[in-house]
Structure 1
């Protein structure tokens, strides 16, 4: 069992929130005195703008961190030095604690982080079984997938499953914004944040050659590229669904859609990027050092990455199987994966994208 550096007594495996915040504050204050890593990412310039760090400042810095780990490998004060600096881990644990604290309803936050694979698999299988059973209510008309499950049934299920998680995320972001001292947002702040997010600048490690996520002496942009593949893949899939919705309701053009239709031109490359990027991130997670993140949450993070990949891959498999006997089997699996993804978004690592964007907006405010 690890020791608490202040008391030299055994530390709990699940330290309290105030302990995590205090440990992150201790390390940040040492980093602020050293300032060797100023150019690594947005965290270190943000640190140097302050002398004292309130709890809200720690929350902001934790969510601004992208866990590229370059600072750890460059630091002269890591163990066995008595300062025992491990800033990536300290911020990762404080960050995960903030997601649980801001989650709404709060009791749903912890279980996925600690038992993510089991929960994701159980939900996918359970929901797929329900969709499979619902095929007994086969509609009288409809083409393609709508000949198996009616459009009305899909809309009735997925509309609240999409909107309620968004409400939960909004409640959490509102609490976050209040804690970090957020101000009214201008277009300039939003633009700066979205540009940083689009480029994933903070995964570059402060240099064009990338960061050290996999190995301390190896600079690489591979993690950045996989993150970009997942991010843009997800956005393309979302745009595909949005374009199909508009075509259905505004232009009276219901599915199925051909290969060269807008939903397919967006959805197929989006699914490929989501699947391959997610698998790449999963491989990288097996190579990275667990103790430079939040070790207790490693399983939940891996479950989230694999869920992303399965959602994209099952969608591609379903499209490839169009018109075959495999569709009634693959359709419930894909819908179960999508519904699981939606329902778990506020409580899985997917929520990090929303909080990190908010942190970038707040950082843009503090720079101005």
Structure 2
């Protein structure tokens, strides 16, 4: 309990409250981001790991599916997906989901203060198709099952406490989760062509065993005002949760979700959009839309997982596309940050920053083989903006 209390302010790797809110709030109702020079310069030539990085950045392989994590005795899971970082004394922990149907769950890697891997272990087992998820302010990992009537499981990144199924968060094709400590709610995306955007309002903040599941209600279009309405039957049977609320707004394939500085961002893969919600004002709009890029040459396609840095930049991973992680700056410029070469049958997953914000972790889910057993998890170190 003492450790959990200490982690309330840093559970999302130091990024939750750090986004540069002034610029984002000023741009709350502006046009979607457009291509321009990135803050780090263009990705250079491929390094020894086949990753194109801006000048001053380096990469290393942390783990490979089916192989023992170097420095440990633990074999890394297949199909690494959503991830997050947690402060651990002077070091940190990176957790990663396994998006497989028969042996899903999640694993963790522990690092010392100087970045040396000191341990790796399982934190969740016996689940299916664990895709993305999200951190909580009390230091747990919400692992989401991307299957029909899937569950959210709450797991301990330290692997001490047993993971717990959280059916109150609804049974649907879960993708990602993001905690809002101001309103004391959890936002949830749904990976369906007509999926909803949800929030869970727990009866007691820090306890996800009971509460209300609500769907976002709004009119047609890509901007406007919104409200919330209770989902009558979060169990999703016989009627799916996305069909139970009159006026619920449909989103085309909900993917990543990120909260920071009283703003919520989430992505939809069916239309390559990044959405921005202002929960205080009750308004929503587009932070990025590949179909609205001037000149028709969109740098970001196949939008998927999203995270944020301490500077206020959003980092959006591609599922396919050019196998890039792109950055969207608070002044609404979108540009490639890195590109993974030679892995066109894969997707980039699980981007997350270390607590200090100087290391970025992510995975290539299927690596060079194009199969779930080919996953590779990377670390990128360099002069990220503070």
Q: Report the TM-score when normalising by structure 1.
A: 0.28
Q: Determine which structure has the larger helix proportion and give its number.
A: 1
Give the structure, 1 or 2, with the largest relative contact order (CA under 8 Å, sep 6 or more). 1
More strand by share: 2
The structure having more radius of gyration, on CA atoms, is 1
Q: TM-score, normalised by structure 2?
A: 0.27
